[in-house]
Structure 1
Amino acid sequence: MPKTLVIVGYGTGISTAVAEKFGAEGFSVAIVARNEQHLAAGASALAAKGIAAGAFAGDASDPAAVRAVLAKVRALLAAVQEALPDLKNAGDGAVLVTNGAFGELSEQMDAFAVSMKSMGVALANAAKHKLVGLLAQRLRDDGVYVGEVMVAGMIKGSAWDSGASDAIKASTVADKFWELYKARGATRARVAG
């Protein structure tokens, strides 16, 4: 059965590296982001590397756009619900989540998030971190692996890359996802710069 990777929030850093890594391993890739031109370029670049890729525009941060994509979201949710049996039956189905280190539960990270005026992001990332654990527990007996890579640092070449020597290569994150997916043991991994 063909395997498909869905990347929500597709960009030129981690998302591209993960799409290329999994695509090289035989996965089809569906990418979702706000900018249709960016998506088209991303899908074309993936196709040029021999990766079957589809692009889907959507911006959950814009209320007007949310109304416009509700039908797509409903269809996507229905597809995910329908895909669950396929994930279970595949024997190696997986849900993979990228998260930022603001989601770590530590006083040091809390202080850093406050200093960066990023408390909302920290809260969302902490909730996503918990969701990963809950999904992993819920789906484990069904044979569906759930994994998370927590990124603690800037991604080299991304919009936030300040040129620091410790910037993390997106391919390093993609490789970590691949390791988690293949090993199907630990739920979480951390990549730091």
Structure 2
Amino acid sequence: MTTIAIIGAGRGLGRAVARRFGSEGFSVALLSRSQSRVDALADELGAEGVHARGFAADVRDPASLAAALERATAELGPIEVLQYSPLPQKDFMRPVLETTPEDLRGPVEFSIYGPVAAVHQVLPGMRFLGEGRGTLLFVNGGSAVTPGRAVTGTSVAFAGQAAYLQLLHDELRDEGIHVAQLVIGGQIVEGDPEKDPGVLADHLWDLHTGRDRFRLQISAD
């Protein structure tokens, strides 16, 4: 049995993705800063028949993130799918003329250092699984493609992450490891026909299985 590791797992999109992939036989590693929250979510999913376990990690601490992914692999099995989808902190979103160099440190650690650390940790195992198995999924807000002057930190950091993902996609394509990005404009809304967590989880499943597109963008309208 292989595993999906969801970095930034919560009760919205993370739970929906865990259910979607769990229904396909995946074990689920739930990663967030709060051990108690991911433990509670793992218990809830377990009651639904999903094999899940929680692991505490801080995406702004590369060593913490790598160690949590290593534990997840040891306890649940090889990581076939990595999803990087933590919610940015509110203090990352400052107007452009008020943004200082120090204000960019957190967003860059969060959206660039974190993904790089996660990819370096899981990539050797994906290569071991063989061609056509490994998938690296990333979920971003709309500022990843359209910068917003009121959300400077995420706009700058998401742009850097998008460049990294494109380079990864081009470099790993011939190895059969798929890299894909889901860009969600606006808020995730339960019951919305386009932005309900379950609908978005289906899109992420399709990105993993279809393996034929780099970016899927859901508009804010």
Q: Same fold (TM over 0.5)?
A: yes
Map of 1:92 onto structure 2: 133
Q: 1:51 to 1:102 in 2, by over 3 A?
A: same
Separation (CA, whole Å) in 2 of partners of 1:189 and 1:82 = 26
Q: 1:36 to 1:14 in 2, by over 3 A?
A: same
Q: What is the SS of the residue equivalent to 1:26?
A: coil
Separation (CA, whole Å) in 1 of partners of 2:136 and 2:64 = 23
Indicate yes or no: 2:67 matched with 1:72: yes
Identity %: 32
Partners of 2:69 and 2:122 within 8 A in 1: no
| Displacement after TM superposition at 1:13 (Å) | 1.3
Q: What is the SS of the residue equivalent to 2:21?
A: helix
Q: What is the SS of the residue equivalent to 1:54?
A: strand
Provide Cα deviations, 1:139-187, integer angstroms capped at 9, x if missing partner. Answer: 1110111111111120125xxxxx9x78821111111111212211111
TM-score (norm 1): 0.78
Q: 1:145 to 1:166 in 2, by over 3 A?
A: closer
Provide Cα deviations, 1:83-135, integer angstroms capped at 9, x if missing partner. Answer: 13234x1532211111111110xxxx33xx21x3x101111111222222111
- 5 Å matches for 1:159-178? 168-178=195-205
Indicate yes or no: 2:144 matched with 1:103: yes
Partners of 1:146 and 1:187 within 8 A in 2: yes
Q: What is the SS of the residue equivalent to 2:175?
A: coil
| Displacement after TM superposition at 1:52 (Å) | 1.2
Q: 1:152 to 1:52 in 2, by over 3 A?
A: same
Separation (CA, whole Å) in 1 of partners of 2:59 and 2:208 = 28
Indicate yes or no: 2:155 matched with 1:125: no
Q: What is the SS of the residue equivalent to 1:141?
A: helix
| Displacement after TM superposition at 1:60 (Å) | 3.6
Separation (CA, whole Å) in 2 of partners of 1:57 and 1:101 = 27
Map of 1:20 onto structure 2: 19
Partners of 1:173 and 1:191 within 8 A in 2: no
Map of 1:134 onto structure 2: 167
Q: 1:52 to 1:133 in 2, by over 3 A?
A: same
Q: Select the residue among 121, 145, 148 that pairs with 2:181.
A: 148
| Displacement after TM superposition at 1:70 (Å) | 7.1
Q: 1:123 to 1:45 in 2, by over 3 A?
A: same
Gap runs ≥5 in structure 2? 72-117
Separation (CA, whole Å) in 1 of partners of 2:66 and 2:172 = 27
Separation (CA, whole Å) in 2 of partners of 1:71 and 1:187 = 25
- 5 Å matches for 1:44-83? 44-61=43-60, 66=61, 69=64, 72=67, 75=70, 79-83=121-125
